[in-house]
Structure 1
Amino acid sequence: MDKPATIKDIARKLNISISTVSRAMRNAADVNSDTKKAVMALSEELNYQPNRLALGLKQKQTHTIGVIVPNLDYVLSMMVRGIDEVALEAGYTVMVCQSNESFGREIVNTRRLLESLVDGFIISVSSETKSFEHFKKIQERNIPMVVFDRVTPDLVAPSVRLDNENGGFIATEHLLEQGYKRIAILAGPKNLGISNSRMDGYLNALKKYKIKKDDDLIIHCDFNQDYAFFATQELLAIKKRPDAIFTISDRMAIGAMLAIKKKGLKMPEDIGLVGFNNEPVVSLVTPQISSVDMSSFELGKAAAKLFIETMHHQEDMSNAEQILKPKLFIRESSQKILPKITR
């Protein structure tokens, strides 16, 4: 295999100095236009590729963004797509690592991305993460960082998130407006901000409609279909079972749906169901599942735009925050009362 062309090869073939070739490639004013044209033409002919790492070390920029996510499920993969689209347009490359909800793996990913000389980080923390020292050390080195989706008060950094509390509220209020009274919630891990925010919205809706909180109807479990299946079986086995269930993710909603069907109950007649994220699968099952949409792709784009703004902004942007509004898509699983048709 032929060795890749170097700047020395160009200088030798044109019988000029290496420094002249370098200055010509940078479009320096002290190099005449004919020399610049000759250098660019030969570099294209030889398929010369500059050493980006060396340039990055010299310029203290590699135009690479390190992205750390808990997993690459549908929602987060859509967010990463949004990040990548904006980054590409701005001349950045994205390096993605997933923690698989592991605190230890998150630390390893952070270290490896630092070793790769990324210009900064866009992160969504794992469900296991309770200590944030590995991220705070990055901030101490003045490396830009944006937190997205799973925002935590333990990290003071520019952030982009969904209004999760409002999402939980509109989902629960919809069920109440459909006539459901005993509404259960499958919430996520107690230490996870998005889980608590969505549950706060659920509780606020109950309070608005003067319905007392029932701890028997609140179950915390992982974002997992199997966990949700068994949790729903527990709910349906209690003496005063719920007449509706709100799950804080669609994966959990699918698990709940399977348990409801196994019990022989019908949706929405016997029990209502609303999920969260509005993944494609909820409109493919029978009955179709109502779900809160979080505009994952747009959230990712917003995170990347905020990162690039942070990179080029002279002032402190650590308190910058962007909050996206959720929207409820109502489907068969929860709609007992059909909307009136006006003529």
Structure 2
Amino acid sequence: MISRVAEHCFWMARYLERAENTARVLEVNQTLLLDFHVPVEQQWKPVLIISGIHDYEGDTGGESVQGYMTWDEENPFSIVSSLAWARENARIIREVISAEMWERMNYYHLWLNSPAVRELYHNNRGEFYAQIRRINQLLTGICDSTMAHGEAWEFLRLGRHLERACQTARTLDVKYHILLPKLDDVGTAVDNAHWIAILMSCSGYEPFHKKPMADPSDPGSAVAEFLIFDDDFPRSIHHCLTECRRCLADIAGTPNGEAHTPADRKISELVHWLDARDIKDVISFGLHQTLTHVVDSTHTIGEAIQSTYFAPEIRLPESPAKKLTQTQSQTQ
């Protein structure tokens, strides 16, 4: 498969996943603020930081941030921008994805640009965010059930899981590093509410409470361990990175897991780095430092995937005379 098609598959999945994650974080944050008093500087700024926006100069009030993260076409991380770029990537590879997937993508494109959606956004914000979340969930199901599970599908899965790993790490890191800077807040109702919000932001609230806990008295460590290491939870960092490694192995034709490309090696290094640790090691090393390493590593992995599959170094074919000269030099 040509690199251009692979790149559009990869980024279409990432943009869809990003739109779902943004909608979920906005919805959960809005609900949290209705139930608990949170300092003004901690209310909506974390939503921007989770998306990697550190230089926002506008009003950090709820309506301003929600509008910026939902409708601003100049914001590359907004919901409308993410879905628009996802559709544009899908349009370019129309012949690769299934007809059902393309039809549903167009349906939601028209829906998002209709007056009824603006009315829904203003009158029932929760339902609007829920519908955005369902867009990616439905398209993921259509993709898995109607596309051949070949290289194009593997690049879709690769983009989806790499984006998930990065977003889970960012969400958990913001909770630890920004929302609770005071030790006095640990163990309070507000602290527990923040951990619940983080679980809900990663769709992990129900799976977390259905899983037996070794030490339920320490919700912070339990939530962090679940979101980082749990292999049964589809949005945990370790699960997503393992799926990325499996996708890369299938793409490279090395099902035994051998790392032959820079992308394979980078993802394997990060997985092995996590395998050598447990939650006690993470807390001892520093949760913020661990999550920062994961986020930085996912960026490095993305760059390695880009250089390996989407923008490989172009090498002109060698002439027969040059090959002969090299062979003779080696023989000598």
Structure 1 length-normalised TM: 0.24
More helix by share: 2
More strand by share: 1
Q: Which has the higher contact order (CA 8 A, sep 6+)?
A: 2
Structure 2 length-normalised TM: 0.24
